[in-house]
Structure 1
């Protein structure tokens, strides 16, 4: 399935948008919040959206397995696997900050072949299929043309291991702040990658991400003409990399050199 049939894409988009309705339904209601780690949250909405997605996506591709943040985070990547983050930006959701997204990627034979990032509160649904380009609400998107770091708007995020990694994170942040036009921290890796694909951010970097954070966004960036590598080495990206560096392309190597300097 290196080529994703139109009906599979359409069914997937419909399912993900339906899942977004669950987020919107619960947006104005109090959340039941529990902790997975010191600062890592999960709400009943995360669980409900993930269960809905798994149930519905089984009907789209019954032969596919699941790697899903809340219920199957340790599942292996099989030949055909849905990779799901039901609510990327759970802390944002808990505080009713609208940078919240559902990320669904489809992995087939060693590569991403489809990715959907739906930001229901923003009313924006991004999608890409391998070889077919990247889109938001059905409109084609491309990465920016910025070629000078001083003109670049860069996004980043802070890992749940911030206590252990704070010196490294602050080193990257200080270098970015004094060299670029500005740095943004939105709190959703899926949205950050989608915004790079759409040319809103010129680049994005972060460590401590998991496959469900990056799977759909990775394909969005590449199909929009951008580049994505491992932050530690600048080598080809993989879903289990410690960190990610995504950009419009021209800024990629200069930004890597800046961060690692």
Structure 2
């Protein structure tokens, strides 16, 4: 952590400069659909030229920011890690991006002693529209959004206490997310959302107290650790709660199927997951 860390406990000036200014041409290419020629990924998918350039530049930045902390990248690295690491999701929401929907982001979390220490989620579209795309947290110091690289605004989850007034998000892979549409749960809430990118869902939950319409909980199923770890840090530091579907604590080995909430709704949502037969799922 650099010497110009502010209330967040996170050194945000050079972070914002890199993500919002130095990478701006790459974000423009992604938003414009100029992805470059695709090549094969190790997991059988495709990686595009602009992603390779993003990886090269981001890896160099993170190696300098966190010297000695190995990078653990989605699609390239094994999980769980053997020790401390920086877990990186270069483009969360790739499918949304390929569909022409600008709901994507770059996110990473430092993992120290088996716990999330520092979380960063950067949303290029939100930065371009409102100058509020950089979200950061550090364990014990709170969650913040950085406004145009200067002002840090501390974030809080919503105060909604009744499911009947709650909006929740479902997030997961197509083969598994359908199981979340348990009729009693669907009937119990006011709205169900699906953003197509966990970085957007997580930041809407973290900003719940600051938005005209909040996201009050997220039920996430069949995702990967890299999808969730940054939001775990942010949500908990914003006053929310994160557990496995049976209410047990999350861990590096159990972090792919999780309930994120503002806190007051957590027990009721766990009850609905039990009623849907979801609490026994492996996580």
TM range (shorter): 0.7 to 0.9
- Alpha-carbon separation, structure 1, partners of 2:51 and 2:260: 26
1:36–1:255 Cα change, 3 Å: farther
- SS in structure 2 opposite 1:121? helix
Match of 1:16 among 14, 19, 22: 19
- Alpha-carbon separation, structure 1, partners of 2:91 and 2:267: 31
The answer to whether structure 1 residue 153 and structure 2 residue 157 are counterparts is no
Match of 1:56 among 61, 76, 83: 61
Residue 178 of structure 1 corresponds to: 187
Structure 2: gaps of 5 or more residues? 128-132, 147-151, 209-213, 276-283
Q: Give the CA deviation at 1:37.
A: 10
Q: Could you list the per-position Cα deviations for residues 188-213 of structure 1 after superposition, in whole angstroms to 9, with x for gaps in the alignment?
A: 11221121111131000111111211
RMSD between aligned residues: 2.6
The normalised TM-score by structure 1 is 0.86
Deviates more, 1:26-35 or 1:222-231: 26-35
Q: Is the 1:4–1:113 Cα contact (8 Å) retained in structure 2?
A: no
Q: Is the 1:156–1:183 Cα contact (8 Å) retained in structure 2?
A: yes
Residue 169 of structure 1 corresponds to: 180
Residue 115 of structure 1 corresponds to: 119
1:132–1:35 Cα change, 3 Å: same
Residue 196 of structure 2 corresponds to: 187
1:46–1:33 Cα change, 3 Å: same
Residue 279 of structure 2 corresponds to: none
The answer to whether structure 1 residue 236 and structure 2 residue 241 are counterparts is no
The normalised TM-score by structure 2 is 0.80
Q: Is the 1:69–1:85 Cα contact (8 Å) retained in structure 2?
A: yes
- Alpha-carbon separation, structure 1, partners of 2:48 and 2:73: 15
Q: Give the CA deviation at 1:77.
A: 2.4
Q: Is the 1:41–1:90 Cα contact (8 Å) retained in structure 2?
A: no
Structure 1: gaps of 5 or more residues? none
